[in-house]
Amino acid sequence: MTSAEIYISFEKFFSKKKGNSMMKRNTLPENEPFLILRDDGFSQYCGRDAATASIEEFLERNVGYLRDYPDVKVKLIGIGPGSVFAYDTKVGDVFMRDASPLAQRICRPGDLAARDWIQKCIDTGSDGLNLMAKKCREIGVIPWARFEMNHEYGPVSEDNFTYAIFVGKFNKEHPEYRIPKPDGTPANYPFLDYKHKEVRDFKLAIIREVAEHDIDGIELDFCVYPPFFFDPKADGHYMTDFIRSARQVLNEEGEKRGVYIDLAVRVEPDAQERLYMAWRDWVKEGLIDWIVPSYLRPNLTFGVPVEEFLKECEGTNCRVATHIRIPCARITTDPNPNDIRSGLSGVKDRPVLPRRHYARALAGIQAGANAVVLATSSGTMKKKGEQIWHPLLDTIANADFLPHAEKEYFFDYLNKLPAELTKEDNPFTHSVMIGDDPENIEKATFVIHARGLTALETVTLSVNGHEITLTEKELYWSPDDEPILPASSGTIKGYNRLHLARIDRWWDICKNEIDIPPSYLKCGKNTITLTYHIAEGGLTKRPLNVGDLALVIQPK
């Protein structure tokens, strides 16, 4: 069947279904924001007490506690960590069911615990996806499933535990379906190329199998991970055919259960221009019900440009959700397996305060987003009080709370920071989106990480055209001190984790705070310019390096 025939068939089917009263659809709030809580599909199984804890306790820790958070309307349940799955799949592979002795020996303790929990759920005669969906319905939460579209792990080697346990047989048995290197030789990472019909058919079979579960929606996550084609420009059209087929599969399976199954997609803001994923066509054709613009690396970026997506969705049935990843520190000190094996521990982690999440949420809601997706990856097999993100569940999508909460709007690292200020004809300009109304701001503070100035140096700070001169009084750290600057990857220049373990509050070194009049700001896009000046004849040891930039807002 050609793509045109599939589309015509879909149109006829969908037109019939829209008038079919048997297709029940759960309603979600339309005039007020709400929360969609996302898990990663794997970490919730990593609790290490599978041998002693009951299924009831598992469900309470993962779902039941949401009864205390009425803002959560949808639970987005991940179906697995990669191309293996955490439900009782017949199409793919159940996580670590057939793991080799080598894989079991080199994997992490949490992986073995996840294997045991997944199997324990299956042993009930159901699986974790259906069990959690049932628990959602008991407490009035709508269950959706989340499918990561290209979460394949490399490097390709059976003695690499991530490849050994997270990459399924379909991928391993068909290396010819992988995206090669630019020169056409085999790549060391096993990303699948959607130009192959076999890949698309495999993914559609998973979607159909998941849709047979008691869920009301599926999110296809295309932020995990691009690319999807060796040649996106030539082959990107296959993804639109795939989305059409996915919509048809969901309609067919929904008809069997008498429910309408929502189709959501998560994409990067430039997915159409860079990856040739024509999400605008998906909206216009009515193929998708939700779109979730999101950055691949949220620790390097702040504001998701939901305005463009809202404009494209205007007059359609597609709605837009803003996406917030927990945590979203731009410098990461999370331990990795090599650190654990080497015994490196006790590294001082830079704190991520709730005010950063509140800033992102309000910016998206003020722009017009219909919902907030709160994405977590930490396992929920801990007790409720141990989950540091739980307090966000009744605040981050609360339109009454957010305008009155302290917020921190930070600036993008990606292609922007850190910056080097050297001369007047080379100013640094950046923009930041804020959701606060200046009339409701009690105090606004501009935060800049930079060394102190000498008496011969000044910096002009321009906020939407309003200028403030910064001198050695405002940038007061010693000129001999240097901030610990991030690299563009979000790591730290010149420091390893062992160095950071020895520095108390390293994230505060060269942190300067400057109060600015709230009237200089505006709700929406704000333009900030920094221009460096040095008096004639003045000499400095080095340029002015700028790391973090942020706006801290304290509402009235």
The better pLDDT of the pair 352, 179 is held by 179
What pLDDT shows up at residue 345?
52
- Contact indicator for 458, 538 with CB cutoff of 8 Å: no
Would the pTM count as exceeding 0.75? yes
Q: For the chain, what is the radius of gyration of the CA atoms?
A: 25
Q: Is 442 exposed, middle or buried (0-12, 13-18, 19+ CB in 10 A)?
A: exposed
- Distant-in-sequence, close-in-space partners of 190: CB < 8 Å, separation ≥ 6: 152, 153, 154, 156, 163, 167, 171, 172, 175, 178
For residue 287, which amino acid is it? Answer: L
Run of H or E residues at 528: strand 524-534
Residue with tokens 């100013």: 427
Average pLDDT over residues 146-152: 95
For residue 198, which amino acid is it? Answer: E
Q: Which of 39-43, 157-161, 327-331, 377-381 shows the highest mean pLDDT? A: 157-161
Can you list the domains of the chain with their CATH numbers? 3-14+31-403 (3.20.20.80), 408-555 (2.60.120.1200)
Average pLDDT over residues 142-166: 95
What pLDDT shows up at residue 207?
98
Percent of the chain predicted with pLDDT > 70: 88
Lowest mean pLDDT among 4-8, 103-107, 377-381: 4-8
What pLDDT shows up at residue 20?
44
Percent of the chain predicted with pLDDT > 90: 69
Report d(CA 262, CA 252) in Å as an integer.
13
pLDDT band of residue 385 (cuts 50, 70, 90) is very low
What pLDDT shows up at residue 340?
52
Quick one: how far is CA 320 from the chain centroid?
A: 15
pLDDT per position as a tens digit, 255-311: 999 999 999 999 999 999 999 999 999 999 999 999 999 988 877 888 788 999 999
Report d(CA 383, CA 489) in Å as an integer.
33
Question: For residue 142, is pLDDT > 80?
Answer: yes
DSSP string, 348-406: -PPP--HHHHHHHHHHHHHHT-SEEEEE--S-S-S-GGG-TTGGGGGTTT-TTTGGGS-
Run of H or E residues at 134: helix 128-138
Report d(CA 379, CA 126) in Å as an integer.
21
**Cis amide prior to 225 (ω within 30 degrees):** yes
What pLDDT shows up at residue 22?
59
Quick one: how far is CA 23 from the chain centroid?
A: 31
pLDDT band of residue 25 (cuts 50, 70, 90) is confident
Which residues, in sequence order, are bridge partners of residue 443? 554
Question: For residue 373, is pLDDT > 50?
Answer: yes
pLDDT band of residue 530 (cuts 50, 70, 90) is very high
What pLDDT shows up at residue 487?
73
Run of H or E residues at 117: helix 109-122
pLDDT per position as a tens digit, 100-122: 999 999 998 889 999 999 999 99
- Closest residue by Cα to residue 548 from 305, 328, 331, 348: 331
- Closest residue by Cα to residue 321 from 282, 290, 363, 295: 290
What pLDDT shows up at residue 457?
92
Backbone angles phi, psi at 250, to 5 degrees: -65, -35
- Distant-in-sequence, close-in-space partners of 335: CB < 8 Å, separation ≥ 6: 344, 345, 347
What pLDDT shows up at residue 444?
98
Report d(CA 279, CA 287) in Å as an integer.
10
pLDDT per position as a tens digit, 40-88: 878 888 876 777 889 999 999 889 999 999 999 999 999 998 789 999 9
- Contact indicator for 540, 454 with CB cutoff of 8 Å: yes
What pLDDT shows up at residue 376?
84
pLDDT per position as a tens digit, 492-526: 777 776 777 778 888 899 999 999 999 999 999 99
Question: For residue 383, is pLDDT > 70?
Answer: no
What pLDDT shows up at residue 317?
94
Average pLDDT over residues 193-221: 98
Lowest mean pLDDT among 147-161, 166-180, 416-430: 416-430
Question: For residue 343, is pLDDT > 60?
Answer: no
- Contact indicator for 124, 56 with CB cutoff of 8 Å: no
Question: For residue 148, is pLDDT > 90?
Answer: yes
- Contact indicator for 284, 323 with CB cutoff of 8 Å: no
Average pLDDT over residues 198-203: 98
Question: For residue 491, is pLDDT > 80?
Answer: no
End-to-end CA gap in the chain: 61
**Cis amide prior to 29 (ω within 30 degrees):** no
What pLDDT shows up at residue 8?
42
CA dihedral (222, 224, 225, 228) positive or negative: negative
What pLDDT shows up at residue 547?
87
Question: For residue 335, is pLDDT > 80?
Answer: no
What pLDDT shows up at residue 52?
85
